[in-house]
Amino acid sequence: MTGKLSLCAVICAVQLAGAASALAEVVTLPPMQDTTLYQENPESRSNGAGVYTFSGRTLNGDLRRALVAFDVAAAIPAGAVINSASLTLHLSRTSRAGPESVALHRLLRAWGEGASDATAQEGTGAPATPQDATWAFSLVATQTRWTTPGGDYAATASAAVTVGVIGTYTWPSTPELVADVQSWVDEPAGNFGWIVLSDESGGPSAKRFDSRENTSAAFRPALTLDYTLAPIEPIVVSIAEAAGMLALNWNPGRPGLLYTVQTRASLTAGDWTPAAGGAWPIAETSWMDPMAATAAVRFYRVLASQP
């Protein structure tokens, strides 16, 4: 078999061989912002920089609602599929120790987190700053009002969990939570997070949760996501002979990946092994095989992986 025919066999093999895989990942995200809305001072109180957030009805009958949001798009690649989503909060104080449902509802409007920082137990909030949200305003600086005072949110809860004594609580994954996060991956501009609603129908039900500014990192809110990346399919787009070597070029499949070229002597049998002469994996999307001219037939495939 001539060198030219051998190269033809190599080219055909590259076109036939390929690799595709779906990569599953689990990440835990910190909040990008959180705050509390205080009903009794609807335009002037907030707690954007406080170490606590509040939800429920106080002993005086006034309502508190906590807001929390996570920068999902910064952590999850575009095109990823969300498999599960769960939120963890730490309850540090409660006006009712008995069990009651606390629900998460998807927020429908952008809101602010400013420098307001309540003192002591933080239950009454602090004077709102321009970048804060209040019961009346989603953003004080622009005097942008909520359509409904107290926050604009989806009527149907995305998840609910029974909260009782002080401790850590996790809102487990639901189809609604998954749908919320998936929508934020697909359309990041629509990510406004969740509002946390305790029982508002009767007597005192106020709950104090630790915020992202809490001094104990273990008590800060956390969003845990399980997601799958789209299949990786690097496709060889050009093959050429140059100076007795075979030059392979492929498309990247997806940005930020690393690649390994593997070879074997048969298309259907034998083990794939990393091609000799390469320092695998590589970030480049091309490679020249110095061994191609010495092989009667060589079959190739390109594997992609995350760094």
Residue 18: its pLDDT value, please? 39
> Could you tell me the sign of the dihedral formed by the alpha carbons of 250, 254, 260, 262, in that order?
negative
Residue 231: its pLDDT value, please? 66
The whole-angstrom distance between residue 252's C-alpha and the CA centroid of its chain comes to: 23
Residue 241: its pLDDT value, please? 77
Residue 255: its pLDDT value, please? 72
Residue 16: its pLDDT value, please? 37
In the chain, which residues have pLDDT < 70? 1-23, 97, 230-233, 253, 292-296
Q: Which of 257, 243, 250, 254 is nearest to 301 (CA)?
A: 250
| pLDDT tens sequence across 108-147 | 999 999 999 999 999 999 999 999 999 999 999 999 999 9
Say what the pTM is.
Answer: 0.75
Rg (CA), the chain: 28
Domains of the chain by start residue, with CATH: 3-21+232-305 (2.60.40.10), 24-228 (no CATH)
The kind and range of the H/E element at 180 are: helix 175-186
| pLDDT tens sequence across 172-199 | 999 999 999 999 999 999 999 999 999 9
Residue 296: its pLDDT value, please? 67
The kind and range of the H/E element at 16 are: helix 3-16
